[in-house]
A and B are shown apart, each in its own frame.
Chain A
Amino acid sequence: MATENVVATEVESGMPQLDFSTFPNQIFWLLIALVVIYLVLSRVALPRISGVLAERSGTISNDLAAAEDYKLRATEAEAVYEKALADARTESNRIADQARADAQAELDAALAEADARIAAQTAEAEASIAEIRASATENVAIVAKDVAEALVAAMGSTADQATIDAAVNDRMKG
């Protein structure tokens, strides 16, 4: 019986695909396989995978939002820092200006004092120079009178003091 069936199919078509005696078998098992795959996918696999995907996209958007938040906070912190820096800079500028002004005032005072002292000393020195010069002129006149008296005595004549003084003074004026 078995062999005869084979002979029948092979002689009839040659293609196992067109052997209609196997169709009920194939269709039966195919339908079972499709139903099983459908049930497995629709009941277990697809809900699970779609859940995982939804959860992942939720996690990702949450993380992105958190990152955005952190970024915002970082920007704020940066602004605060910048402000503090600018404040510090103006403060430091102010202190520096203050210090510079103080130093300048001190310096000016010291300079003025020094100038005054120098002027005083200069005046003093000038006074002593004038004194010295005056005494020098006087000494020159005395020396000239003494010399003139000695000259007159050396030439063998005498002249009274008054005459010599008058002559010397007369000459020194010239």
Chain B
Amino acid sequence: MTDVASHTATETTDAATHGAGEAVMHADAVGAGDAAADGAAAGHDAGGLVFHPLDQFLVRPIFGEGGIFHPTMPVPEIHWYTPTNVTLWLALAVLCVVLLFVVGSRGRATVPTRTQSVAELFYGFTHKMVEDVCGKEGLKYFPYIMTIFVFILFANFLGLLPMSFATTSHIAVTAILGFGVFFAVTILGFVLHGASFLKLFWMTDAPLILRPVIAVIELISYFVRPVSHSVRLAGNIMAGHAVIKVFAGFAAIALISPVSILAITAIYGLEVLVAGIQAYVFAILTCVYLKDALHPAH
């Protein structure tokens, strides 16, 4: 798939590459044209403003040419093992989790330190959420839900740091999470209940004549779940970051810049909320899906 695309691209842009001397120049030109094509008509009206609201989402290697230390250079080819900015920010999320939950609680104090009580707060919050939604049987799966919740939370908040890379803004990341939950829950449902897991779609409360119709609707909504689950998270994070970037682009005009900075501040505050809420929403929906697997007969 990728190979084919890059081949066709090679053919179409060969001439241009030959013409342009410097690769850097060429990439800049492409970026500008791209931004314009993205519908930044305002940029042209304001007189040469260039928007790159999506450049922040580019996956770049950490080292070498075109890496994160050479942001003007074009991105080289990325293999599955290349250490990229994705790797870096995922590692930072892991580091934060370790710092908060392992280093923070190392004292095992009965009267907790500040960090330990924050860790306990997260523990208690997630534990209660799992117990409230899934019941006692759900507590077996508490570490998984805690993993998902804590990872998304830290990835979202780390993505809010200036110059950072928001891993959860990528559909590849959230789709793995969302489909992971979907498959895990579906398999768990069949393992625990066998074929009677299908009762999830058979509404015994409804009139008999309506039940097949409802079953079809339920089935469709069941398979849409992982998509909405992952697109919701990625879309929220990506949209917020892109909007901040667009407003930042307007700050280049002296007259508009105060408004622009105010707007960035406001949206940043909103994004802080969104970062926490989306992590919570993802975790609690995971609990709800898990509850369906544990108790399919409503």
Interface residues of chain A, those whose CB is within 8 Å of chain B, are 1-12, 14-34, 36-38, 40-42, 44-46, 48-53, 55-56, 59
B234 cross-chain contacts in A, Cβ below 8 A: 17
A10 cross-chain contacts in B, Cβ below 8 A: 30-31, 34
Does any Cβ of A come within 8 Å of B284's Cβ?
Answer: no
Q: Known contacts A8-B5, A31-B176: does B76 contact A16 (CB below 8 Å)?
A: no
Contacts A11-B12, A46-B143 aside, 14 further interface pairs with beta carbons under 8 A come to: A2-B74, A5-B6, A9-B75, A14-B34, A15-B54, A15-B57, A16-B58, A22-B84, A27-B176, A34-B151, A37-B147, A40-B94, A49-B101, A56-B110
Shortest Cβ gap from A28 to chain B (Å): 5
B37 cross-chain contacts in A, Cβ below 8 A: 14
The distance in angstroms between the C-alpha atoms of A58 and B233, with both chains bound, is 40
Q: Known contacts A4-B9, A45-B102, A46-B143: does B87 contact A27 (CB below 8 Å)?
A: no
A3 cross-chain contacts in B, Cβ below 8 A: 17, 23, 26-27, 74
Task: Decide if A12 touches B87 in the complex (CB within 8 Å).
Answer: no
Task: Decide if B81 touches A52 in the complex (CB within 8 Å).
Answer: no
Question: Which among B9, B12, B238 has the highest number of chain A CB atoms within 10 Å?
Answer: B9
Does any Cβ of A come within 8 Å of B221's Cβ?
Answer: no
Nearest opposing residue in chain A for B83, CB measure = A29
Does any Cβ of A come within 8 Å of B203's Cβ?
Answer: no
Nearest opposing residue in chain B for A43, CB measure = B143
Interface of A is mostly: helix
Q: Could you list 17 examples of A-B contacts with CB < 8 Å? A: A5-B77, A7-B16, A7-B26, A22-B84, A25-B86, A26-B86, A26-B170, A26-B172, A27-B173, A29-B90, A30-B90, A30-B176, A33-B151, A37-B97, A44-B102, A46-B143, A46-B146
The 5 A-B pairs of least Cβ separation, nearest first, read A8-B9, A45-B101, A24-B80, A2-B76, A33-B90
Shortest Cβ gap from B185 to chain A (Å): 16
User: Which residues in chain B, 227-244, are within 8 Å of chain A measured between CB atoms?
Assistant: 234, 238
A40 cross-chain contacts in B, Cβ below 8 A: 94, 97-98, 101-102
The distance in angstroms between the C-alpha atoms of A27 and B123, with both chains bound, is 27
The distance in angstroms between the C-alpha atoms of A142 and B79, with both chains bound, is 171
User: Which residues in chain B, 156-176, are within 8 Å of chain A measured between CB atoms?
Assistant: 167, 169-173, 176
Of the residues B30, B151, B172, contact of A23 by C-beta under 8 Å: B172
User: Which residues in chain B, 37-80, are within 8 Å of chain A measured between CB atoms?
Assistant: 37-38, 54-55, 57-59, 65-66, 74-80
The distance in angstroms between the C-alpha atoms of A110 and B109, with both chains bound, is 83
A27 cross-chain contacts in B, Cβ below 8 A: 80, 172-173, 176
The distance in angstroms between the C-alpha atoms of A23 and B171, with both chains bound, is 9
Task: Decide if B34 touches A25 in the complex (CB within 8 Å).
Answer: no
Does any Cβ of A come within 8 Å of B283's Cβ?
Answer: no
Shortest Cβ gap from B175 to chain A (Å): 9
Nearest opposing residue in chain B for A60, CB measure = B110
Does any Cβ of A come within 8 Å of B105's Cβ?
Answer: yes
Task: Decide if A21 touches B2 in the complex (CB within 8 Å).
Answer: yes
Of the residues B9, B54, B97, contact of A12 by C-beta under 8 Å: B9
Task: Decide if A30 touches B173 in the complex (CB within 8 Å).
Answer: yes
A8 cross-chain contacts in B, Cβ below 8 A: 5-6, 8-10, 13
Nearest opposing residue in chain A for B79, CB measure = A25
Task: Decide if B84 touches A25 in the complex (CB within 8 Å).
Answer: yes
Nearest opposing residue in chain B for A45, CB measure = B101
Task: Decide if B57 touches A16 in the complex (CB within 8 Å).
Answer: yes
Task: Decide if B38 touches A14 in the complex (CB within 8 Å).
Answer: yes
Does any Cβ of A come within 8 Å of B91's Cβ?
Answer: yes
